[in-house]
Amino acid sequence: MRIAVINETSAADRNADILAALDGLGHDVINAGMKKSGEKPELSYIHTGLMAAVLLNAGTVDFVVGGCGTGQGFLNSIMLYPGVTCGHILTPLDAWLFTQINGGNCISLMLNQGYGWAGEANLKFIFEKLFCVEPGSGYPPHRREPQRESRELLGRLSRITHYKMTEILVKLPGEVVSPVAAYPGLIKLMESRSGTDKAILGILKDRIKG
C-alpha cells in the first residue's frame, strides 16, 4: 500500500514519530508534508487537507496519514473533498474498527492534545491495528453486509454532493491551492508515481504558474 504522511505546521515535530511507527509494516511510505516545525512554506490543516485529497483523488497514493493538534481541523478540512473516507483515530481499537467497518482511505491523528509519555508507542499500536485486518471485512461479522451497503451509499452521496476534484482545483482561491501546488517535492512525487491522474497534475502545474 502507498501511504502518504502529511503533517501540518502545529504537528510537524511529530513527523519523525509517525515515520518510525510505520517502519517495518511493509508499506511504501511517502513523506509528503512538513518534516519539522519552522519549515517553509508552512502548511496549515487547510493546506494539508487539500494536499491529501489531491493525492488520493489523483491515484498517487492509496492512503493518507494526517492530523493536527487535536485531529479535528484536518478531519474537517479533508472531508470537504470527494473520494475521501477519513476517521478520527485516537486509539488502536479505533483503528481496528475503522478499517473493518468504514474501510476508509485516510486517518486524522491527535498529535498535540494528550500526546505525552508513550505517545510514539500509541502511534505504533494504532498502525499495527489499522493495517492488520481486511478493509471492509465488517465487525461484528454478521454486520458485514449492511456496513458494505452503507459504505457504497456514502460513496454515491459523495459523488452527488461534491464537485469533481479538477473543478475544485480551478475554483479554489490562490491562498489555499498555491502553497500546496508549489510545495517542494509534490509535483515530482505525482509525476513519479504510475497511475497519477494527469488532469489533476496539469491543473496543479497551471496554478503554480498563475
Helix segments in the chain, DSSP class H: 15-22, 45-57, 72-78, 92-97, 119-130, 144-161, 165-171, 174-181, 186-192, 198-209
Considering only 13-22, 34-43, 65-74, 138-147, which range has the smallest mean pLDDT?
A: 34-43
pLDDT band at 147 (very low <50, low <70, confident <90, very high): very high
C-alpha cell at 184: 517542494
Provide the β-strand partners of residue 86.
106
Helix (H, G, I), strand (E, B) or coil at 54: helix
With 70 as the cut, is the pLDDT of residue 93 above it? Answer: yes
User: What pLDDT is attached to residue 208?
Assistant: 86
Query: Does 126 score more than 80 pLDDT?
Result: yes
| Burial annotation 117-155 (CB, 10 A radius, 16+ → b, else e) | eeeeebbbbbbbbbbebebbebeeeeeeeebeeebeeee
Q: Which residue has the cell 483523488?
A: 57
Reported confidence tier of residue 11, pLDDT bands at 50, 70, 90: very high
The grid coordinates of residue 85 equal 473516507
Tens digit of each residue's pLDDT (9 = 90 or more) over 36-57: 998 988 999 999 999 999 999 9
- Burial code (b: 16+ CB inside 10 Å, e: under 16) for 44-81 equals bbbbbbbbbbbbbbbbbbebbbbbbbbbebbbbbbeeb
CATH number for 139: 3.40.1400.10
Task: Evaluate if residue 148 carries a pLDDT over 90.
Answer: yes
Structural domains in the chain (count): 1
With a cut of 90, say whether residue 67 has pLDDT above it: yes
| Average pLDDT score over the chain | 96
Instruction: Please measure the distance between the N-terminal and C-terminal CA atoms of the chain and give it in whole angstroms.
Output: 34
pLDDT value, residue 210: 59
Please check whether residue 104 is in contact with residue 85, taking contact to mean a CB–CB distance below 8 angstroms. yes
- pTM score of the predicted model: 0.96
Give CA–CA dist 117/115, Å, rounded. Answer: 7
The parent domain of residue 53 ranges over 2-209
Determine contact, residues 33/52, Cβ cutoff 8 Å. Answer: no
